[in-house]
Amino acid sequence: MCKILVTGGSGFIGTNVILSLLKGGHDVLNLDFHKPKLSKLESVTTSCDIDAFSELNSKIIEFSPDYIIHLAARTDLDGKSLNDYSANILGVENLMKILPLLSNLKKVIITSSMLVCHTGYCPKNQFDYAPSTLYGESKVKTEEIVWNNKPQCDWAIIRPTSIWGPWFGVPYRNFFDMMMAHRYFHIGNKGCTKTYGYVGNAVYQIEQILFNDTRDESQKVFYIGDDPPINIEDWANEIAGELGYEVRRMPWWFLRLAAWGGDLLKLAGIAFPMTSFRLKNMTTDNVIDLSDTYKIAPNPPYSRKKGIKETLNWLVLTKH
């Protein structure tokens, strides 16, 4: 049994990580100012704002963890400046100041994002960044802070790809909700191929990275996701097959008009599920090289079909 600290464990990936760690018999503490999604996780959760150094310091020092999985972050794309993403910058700076004080610490994982590079961009190395959003820029800052303040123990940076599954939110919760309501349409002939990842496999990869040696500084960054990538039309057809229907196709021009309308509504402060940014993301290939991750985590436990079934079952249960 290990003492494992998780920051931001009340979120989507964090919920799944904590459930798995508890199942493995570990002593887990979740630091998050949000309540956990499951009431049974309240007993291992303590409210904490990672931007508040003294509060964060006292709670981490008191727990004295063997391992840390840092997930806490602001992850939406709605910020107006980098200051809106202080959790991704100041919060990481605070954590890095505390790490040298932890005598029992064996390993820390810092969570970044694949959006340190824009969709469709293939980074040449682990220092090659090309963000197109403020959120992506804030995660570049996250990684730079870690590199400039290397922990005394083993450490790694993870970049989750498009992760989906139980306890998820936007955008893939919306995608599954639309599939279940038979309101999803293929986008003309512009279906794209992307690296997605079922959350059960993401948890497996995170745990393998946590408990295995990653001291080689030429390979400190690990993308989290499933290989091979899949075309979104094939994925939608697999989900529809489980639901017993066939996905229809909508003309490209119609969705282009809807996206323009969504852009105008966004300017007016009105949320709309389709914008030009969203449409471009849905129609741009984004294939990530996962070979380094699969070297350390070669046996993901879930097939995509099993992940789809578990996600659909979870959605049905949460709607009742």
> Does one domain contain both 20 and 152?
yes
Position 40 in a domain? yes
Does pLDDT of 282 surpass 90? no
Percent of the chain residues topping a pLDDT of 70: 100
User: According to the model, what pLDDT value does residue 101 have?
Assistant: 97
Q: Give the Cα separation of 214 and 167 in Å (integer).
A: 29
Does residue 218 fall inside a structural domain? no
* pLDDT above 80: residue 36: yes
Instruction: State the pLDDT at residue 3.
Output: 98
Q: Give me the mean pLDDT over the 241-270 stretch.
A: 92
Global confidence as pTM: 0.94
- pLDDT of 112 reads 98
Residue 207: the pLDDT is: 98
- Domain co-membership, 25 together with 78: yes
pLDDT band of residue 212 (cuts 50, 70, 90) is very high
Mean per-residue pLDDT, 171-176:
92
Q: Is the pLDDT of residue 235 over 90?
A: yes
Structure confidence at residue 153 (pLDDT): 98
Give the Cα separation of 213 and 199 in Å (integer).
23
Is 272's pLDDT higher than 90? no
What's the CATH code of the domain at 129? 3.40.50.720
Q: What angle do CA 202, 46, 78 make, to 5 degrees?
A: 60
Stretch among 34-38, 94-98, 157-161, 189-193 having the lowest mean pLDDT: 189-193
Using DSSP's 3-state secondary structure scheme, residue 6 falls into strand
State the Cα–Cα distance between residues 118 and 122, nearest whole angstrom: 9
Q: Are residues 155 and 253 in the same domain?
A: no
Return the bridge partners of 70, or none.
7, 110
Range name among 61-70, 168-177, 221-230, 273-282 with the lowest pLDDT average? 273-282
Residue 15 within any structural domain of the chain? yes
Same domain (yes/no): 173, 128: no
Percent of all residues in the chain with a pLDDT value above 90, rounded to a whole number:
88
In a domain, 279, yes or no: yes
- The whole-number pLDDT of residue 278 equals 80
pLDDT band at 9 (very low <50, low <70, confident <90, very high): very high
- Domain region containing 233: 162-196+225-288+302-320
Q: What is the pLDDT of residue 191?
A: 82
What pLDDT band is residue 142 in, cutting at 50, 70 and 90?
Answer: very high
Q: Are 15 and 135 found together in one domain?
A: yes
Is the residue at 206 inside a domain?
no
Lowest-confidence segment of 38-42, 66-70, 190-194 by average pLDDT: 190-194
Domain total in the chain = 2
Mean pLDDT score across all residues of the chain: 95
Residue 205 lies in a domain: no
- List, as one string, the DSSP characters of 60-121: HHHH--SEEEE------S--SSGGGGHHHHHHHHHHHHHGGG-TT--EEEEE--GGGB-TT-
Predicted confidence at residue 189, as pLDDT, reads: 83
Confidence of residue 320 (pLDDT cuts 50, 70, 90): low
Q: 134 and 264: one domain?
A: no
CATH number, residue 176: 3.90.25
Q: Is residue 294 part of a domain?
A: no
